[in-house]
Chains A and B, each alone.
Chain A
Amino acid sequence: MRFVTRFSPVGLHFGSLDTRLLQLTGSPRGWTVQAAEVAPAQGVTRHSQAATALSTCIKGHILGKDTAISTSAAGAALTVVPIERSQTDRLRATLEEAAARAIEDPEGINYRFLPLSRTLQDANERDEYLLLCLGESEQRRCTAASEALGLRPVGLEIAAFPVARTLTYATRNEKEAVGFLHLGFDHAYFGIAFDNEMRFLKPMERSGADLLDSLHQSAEPLEDVHSAQAMALGFLTDSDPAGAGHEDDAAMSASNASTMLAHVRRQSEESQGAAMMRALRVQGANLGQEIRACLRHFHARNPGIAVSQVAISGFGGGLPGITGVLEQALKIDVELAQPFTQIGIGAPAELLREQHLWCAPLGLALRNAA
């Protein structure tokens, strides 16, 4: 045991596409990345895959054994449950019913709930509870994988909390609420943190995968390109039987065909790009509408608390132009999360390039400090 502990717990985030491990050294006056590892792993067995992949690279790199875990897969769910004040005595039963409906797990379901604070005092209003559900099997796999890595689990959260913790710690604005949009691959949620607690959290209908799908669909080759390719191929095949006396004509025809094909390709690329941006704009506008509705709800329950900025984290945040589209839709600042830069954490360049993907593990590592 070291005389003075100057390292964070190991943050271990089991994401949908990959598992990320992060540990910091130093103190709140100055953090440095001690270990940052990514293990691509998907599916139900991603925990054991990640443990196998990480076990070799973390040896001798991490300090201590305590690890804070988070998960954001399909095995976890979060929902807001409104409950009439007159039915407060049925709170437990209502939440249990809601948890049973939220996810399915043959081993059972664990749930936690947090009352969502509000500033508005109205006797007719309903109380809202944030219900967080986690399947027993998901919890078992998370803890077993961390123990297989030789680590000791000290906390298991749903990823929304470490993400909110990171972005709140990064902005350090106590007067204004911090809005954050996590666009994960198979899930997305919008939350608002204020006064060191979660004031709003709601899953979004569109996830990063939906945005990606729409981009893929819009990027499919157009029929014009196929017909142009066929025409060019016709030019080339027609010119062949003309014989040696017509070599110049054949060469000219081939040149024309390739020029035409290049022109059509360029046109199709441009139109593809425009179509992709159009699709992204449409998806972004829909996402913006969802967020606007969330903001309206938040302002209705918490008048006087301003949300002047939204930070985007997760896989979807890296899609081109998404921040601009959302900024247009919301009419407030939307920025890609850069917590390492904002907090001033010394980190390798490759980690700084994709800071928005490290919000959850960073929030786990900063659980003591934030």
Chain B
Amino acid sequence: MKTADFLGTQPFLNHLQRRRMPRRVLMLCLFCAICLGGSVAFEVSVHVEEKRAEAGQRPMPEAAQAQAELGEIYGEMNAFSQALDPLAEHLARPTAAGTLAGMDEALGPEVEVERVAWSREIKADKKGKKKANGPEILVLIVEAIATNEETATSLDAILSAYTGMKAQIQDHEPVADRWPAVRMTVRLESEIHSLPEVEAKS
């Protein structure tokens, strides 16, 4: 109710303010309690996430078992590695099977291949001497009959182009009763490491 206060309005307003103070403290405490509850809830959720992350990082039993089995396999394989290494080295070397398979077709119908011989030799130096620890070379000896003169003169070049090896005619002689056929002996050389891949032609 509207009133006329002879002490003025301020003392009564101060009185109301004093009464309100505890309520403000109560509200502040409630706010703090809510904040505390929120932080506790946040901490709990962090713990849950942390446990989940730890569980995720822990190895799976199936993977651990597979890893152990793989280790055992490697252990077993190590026992055979001494025997398997030379084989693997041998298998890694170049092969001449592809070169021989397509040689007839590459030389054409005017050339008849009589003999092919493979060998590995020590490369001779410029003076013609062979050292024991010199580099190895692959040597291919091809004996073939060229049915005409033109083919005979170009046989080394044809073989060199086909195999990618250095070709050198070692011997030639006419074939009896088959003029103008000539029996040619061609020596082909190549360093083992630089032996080019020869595409097999069917």
Contacts and interface: CB of A to CB of B under 8 A. Distances in A.
B139 to A, nearest CB: 110
B4 interface: yes
Contacts of A196: 1-2
Contact of A134 (B6, B23, B26): B6
A161 B4 contact: yes
A25 interface: no
A5 interface: yes
A157 B1 contact: no
Interface stretch (A84-92, A97-105, A108-116, A329-337): A108-116
Interface in A167-217: 168, 193, 196-198
B2 A114 contact: yes
A182 B9 CA distance: 26
B126 interface: no
Interface stretch (B11-19, B55-63, B91-99, B188-196): B11-19
B11 to A, nearest CB: 5
Interface in B130-187: none
B21 interface: yes
A113 B7 contact: no
A323 B6 CA distance: 33
Nearest to A117: B2
A93 interface: no
Interface string A241-273: 000000000000000000000000000000000
Interface in A302-336: none
Contacts of A132: 4, 6
A116 to B, nearest CB: 11
Contacts of B125: none
Contacts of A158: 4, 6
Contact of A370 (B1, B7, B12, B25): B1
B65 interface: no
Majority SS of interface residues in chain B? Answer: helix
B2 A2 contact: no
A113 B26 contact: no
Contact of A161 (B1, B7, B15, B23): B1
B2 A157 contact: no
B6 A157 contact: yes
B15 A168 contact: no
Contacts, number: 70
Given A153-B11, A157-B6, A5 B1 contact: no
A283 B102 CA distance: 153
Interface residues of B, number: 19
Given A154-B11, A156-B6, A198 B1 contact: yes
A198 B4 CA distance: 11
Contacts of A370: 1
A286 B5 CA distance: 33
Contact of B4 (A5, A113, A154): A113
Interface string B17-51: 01101110110000000000000000000000000
Contacts of A153: 7, 11
A1 interface: yes
A173 B11 CA distance: 30
Given A4-B23, A5-B19, A368-B16, A154 B1 contact: no
A198 B7 contact: no
A154 B15 contact: yes
B1 A1 contact: no
A34 B7 CA distance: 25
A157 B3 contact: yes
Contact of B1 (A2, A110, A193): A193
Nearest to B3: A161
Nearest to A153: B7
A284 interface: no
Given A154-B11, A154-B14, A368 B19 contact: yes
Contacts of A165: 1, 3
A326 to B, nearest CB: 24
A5 to B, nearest CB: 5
Contacts of A1: 21-22
Given A156-B6, A165-B1, 18 more contacts: A1-B22, A3-B26, A5-B23, A114-B2, A114-B4, A143-B7, A153-B7, A154-B12, A155-B7, A157-B4, A157-B6, A158-B6, A161-B3, A165-B3, A168-B1, A197-B1, A367-B3, A367-B12
8 contacts: A1-B22, A68-B12, A130-B4, A153-B7, A161-B4, A164-B1, A196-B2, A197-B2
Q: Which 9 A-B pairs have the closest CB atoms?
A: A112-B4, A154-B15, A156-B6, A197-B2, A161-B3, A154-B11, A5-B19, A156-B7, A165-B1
